[in-house]
């Protein structure tokens, strides 16, 4: 315990020394990240990260900016019939937050996970939402995972886990059966159709009906992937399923 304490105390010092020798370049503007809370986004670009707060859409997590009265219809998830309870997102998929995801997913930029963790840890609503849950990363098709070498949703699930100091578990309960590869060339309806039975619980997965599971993905786009995962978990007996993403867009 004492050793952990000392390590934690020295970490900012080590970081400062490292940053003096190799100041990180900002993912937003390319300038130097000096005296920024985030290590890879400078203090000028940091405000461009949209940190999602309440009120937000319960189905996709998109914030309801300034709309406090009247019926809230969310244009971002219209038509999605969720088989999960609620979704939350840490940021919107734009500006530097978008760069974090692209850097991690396509350029092996594992270093961005540190800033993702910082953004998660400063969001008390997200920390509260994570309590008592088991995180279930959205799986990649085995071919895709071999090709990429890692599953970004798993890494992001670990960032969520670290943000609550390891107090929640991660379980890879699902498998992707359909190698859908890039879905981007299809319209929303076709994507939803293709994704419907793309996932299933792993054979050895142990799922407890009243345990709360949170599906984790990097980005909430149409919601069809996450909904399909929720469907697979529900088929395997889960009754209490939520969704969390790092970004929405």
Positions in the binding site for Zn ion (CB under 5 A): 26, 28-29, 31, 42, 45, 57, 59-60, 62, 74, 76-77
Residue 3 dihedral angles phi and psi, to the nearest 5°: -65, -40
Q: Which residue, 60 or 241, has its beta carbon nearer to Zn ion?
A: 60
Torsion of CA 68, 49, 214, 108, to 10 degrees: 160
Cβ atoms of 244 and 130 within 8 Å: the answer is yes
Q: Least CB distance from residue 188 to Zn ion, whole Å?
A: 14
Phi, psi dihedrals of residue 126, rounded to the nearest 5°: -65, -45
**Distance (Å, rounded) from C-alpha 208 to C-alpha 213?**
9
CB of 141 to Zn ion, least distance (A): 27
Q: Which is nearer to Zn ion, 74 or 102 (CB)?
A: 74
Report the nearest approach of Zn ion to the CB of residue 97 (Å): 13
* Closest to Zn ion by CB, 199 or 220: 220
Minimum CB–partner distance for residue 186 and Zn ion (Å): 20
**Residue 112 C-beta: closest distance to Zn ion, Å:** 14
Alpha helix segments (H runs only) across 59-173: 95-107, 112-121, 124-130, 142-148, 152-163
Distance of alpha carbon 31 from alpha carbon 44, whole angstroms: 10
The secondary structure element, H or E, covering residue 7 is helix 2-21
Q: Which is nearer to Zn ion, 88 or 176 (CB)?
A: 88
Closest CA to 76 of 50, 94, 58: 58
Strand partners, 187: none
- Of the pair 49, 77, the CB lying nearest Zn ion is at 77
Please state the closest distance from residue 154 (CB atom) to Zn ion, in A: 25
If the CB atoms of residues 31 and 47 are measured against Zn ion, the closer one turns out to be 31
Short-list 77, 39, 44, CA closest to 58:
77
Q: What SS3 class is residue 57?
A: coil
23 or 31: whose CB is closer to Zn ion?
Answer: 31
Shortest spacing between CB 248 and Zn ion, in angstroms: 9
* Residues facing 92 on adjacent strands: 248
């Amino acid at each position: 315990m004492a050793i952990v304490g000392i390590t934690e105390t020295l970490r900012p010092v080590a970081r400062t020394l490292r940053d003096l020798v190799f100041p990180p370049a900002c993912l937003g503007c390319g300038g130097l990240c000096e005296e920024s809370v985030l290590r890879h986004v400078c203090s000028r670009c940091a405000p461009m990260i949209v940190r999602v707060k309440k009120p937000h859409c319960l189905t996709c997590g998109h914030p309801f900016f300034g709309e406090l009265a009247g019926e809230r219809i969310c244009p971002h998830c219209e038509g999605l019939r969720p088989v999960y309870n609620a979704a939350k997102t840490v940021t919107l998929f734009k500006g530097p937050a978008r760069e974090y995801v692209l850097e991690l997913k396509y350029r092996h930029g594992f270093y961005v996970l540190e800033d993702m963790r910082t953004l998660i840890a400063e969001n008390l609503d997200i920390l509260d939402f994570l309590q008592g849950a088991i995180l279930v990363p959205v799986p990649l098709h085995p071919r895709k995972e071999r090709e990429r070498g890692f599953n970004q949703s798993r890494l992001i699930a670990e960032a969520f886990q670290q943000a609550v100091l390891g107090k929640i578990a991660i379980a890879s309960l699902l498998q992707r059966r359909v190698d859908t590869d890039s879905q981007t060339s299809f319209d929303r309806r076709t994507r939803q159709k293709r994704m419907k039975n793309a996932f299933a619980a792993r054979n050895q997965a142990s799922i407890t009906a009243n345990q709360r599971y949170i599906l984790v993905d990097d980005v909430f786009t149409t919601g069809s992937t996450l909904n399909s995962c929720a469907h697979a978990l529900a088929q395997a007996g889960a009754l209490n399923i939520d969704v969390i993403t790092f970004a929405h867009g």
